[in-house]
Amino acid sequence: MPKVCEICGKRPVTGYNVSHAHNKTKRRWYPNLQNVRCVIDGQRVKIKACTSCIRSGRVMKQPRVSYRAAS
């Protein structure tokens, strides 16, 4: 699967590692993606969402259900 947020479309960016001697090597910065169970159109689905989308409330998480028997 691609490393892309399904909410905002955030994807890896490229650039250079630059040493003290100014040697440049290519590298990539990846978004902080998490697998999240959420509710979309009444359906429970698993998506990949970046942490900024989760924190900002753009992802409607699945409500927790307690299966313990009431005593």
Q: Please tell me the distance from the alpha carbon of residue 57 to that of residue 38, in angstroms, as a whole number.
A: 11
Q: Is residue 4 part of a domain?
A: no
Q: Is residue 7 part of a domain?
A: no
Tell me the pLDDT band of 68, cut-offs 50, 70 and 90: confident
Q: What is the predicted pLDDT for the residue at 34?
A: 95
Mean pLDDT of 2-13: 95
pLDDT above 60: residue 63: yes
| Residue with the larger pLDDT of the pair 11 and 43 | 11
Q: Is residue 40 part of a domain?
A: yes
Q: Is residue 33 part of a domain?
A: yes
Q: Is the pTM of this model over 0.85?
A: no
Q: Is residue 69 part of a domain?
A: no
Q: Is residue 45 part of a domain?
A: yes
Domain range holding 24? Answer: 13-56
Q: Is residue 41 part of a domain?
A: yes
Q: Rounded to the nearest 5°, which phi and psi values hold at 53?
A: -70, -40
| Structural domain total, the chain | 1
Q: Is residue 8 part of a domain?
A: no
